[in-house]
Amino acid sequence: MDVLSTIFGSEARVKIMRLFLFNPEEIFDAGMISDKSKVNKDIVKKEVIILEKAKLIKKRDFSKTIEKKKGKRVTNSKVRTHGYYLNQDFSYITALKQLLIKTKTLEGGEIIRRLSKAGKLKLVIVSGVFTQDKDSRVDMFVVGNNISKSALNNAIKSIEAELGKELMYVCFETEDFKYRLGMYDKLIRDVLDYPHQVLLDKISL
């Protein structure tokens, strides 16, 4: 358990808080919270009561679409349920965001460790949610050799579960990246010319 988990009471609460803080416009019911944060549903029900009492989140009824399968037939139907959303008037939203992004599981070394399972990393840059720049085109930029897309996707999903937010990311093989860099590729320039943090650089940008 890291320091924040100790301060806030549990690792589950930290994950759930991140989910709401980094998805401020969305509403989630208990099942959705459990699925996205990878926290047991029974624990979710207890934690949202605590966060609602703290006035970090509010309760509201909403409609969601559920998928039902019967044999090969798939049908969608809308159901009415109650969910929770971030209280935008909560006084400490900005401070909490800054605090919850800087934890042991989301620090540079741990991110590199998880991503390295996908291949030989040469360059890793984070921006967007990691730099509190909501206008950034990507949250994570990865360059390497022999990168396994499936392994990279699994690594990203593990980080998303900690963060509570889906990440926009791009990946290039090293030679492709160098070519695009030399051609002043717009996406690459948008990443490098705006707020970002370099976690790994074996290319010497």
* Structure confidence by residue, pLDDT tens digits, 171-182: 999 999 999 999
State the pTM of this model. 0.70
Per the DSSP assignment, residues forming a β-bridge with 172 are 143
Residue 171 DSSP label: E
SS3 assignment, position 56:
coil
Residue 107 DSSP label: S
The least confident of 101-110, 128-137, 156-165 is 101-110
> Is the confidence at residue 83, as pLDDT, over 90?
yes
Mean pLDDT calculated for residue range 84-112: 83
Question: What is the structure's pLDDT at 5?
Answer: 64
- Strand 169-173 and strand 140-145: the pairing is parallel
Q: How many angstroms separate the Cα of 101 from the Cα of each of 21, 78, 90, 169?
A: 10, 34, 18, 17
Going by C-alpha positions, the residue among 120, 118, 141 that lies closest to residue 194 is 141
- Place 112 in a pLDDT band, splitting at 50, 70 and 90: very high
Question: What is the structure's pLDDT at 6?
Answer: 61
In the chain, the percentage of residues whose pLDDT exceeds 90 is: 59
Most confident of 59-63, 83-87, 135-139, 191-195: 83-87
Who's near 30: CB < 8 A, 6+ residues apart? 41, 44, 45, 48
- Place 84 in a pLDDT band, splitting at 50, 70 and 90: very high
pLDDT of 8-39, one tens digit each?
Answer: 778 889 889 999 998 999 999 999 999 988 89
Question: What is the structure's pLDDT at 95?
Answer: 87
Q: Is the C-alpha dihedral spanning 109, 111, 113, 116 positive or negative?
A: negative
CATH (one of 2.60.40.10, 3.30.230.10, 1.10.10.10, 3.40.50.2000) for 3-99: 1.10.10.10
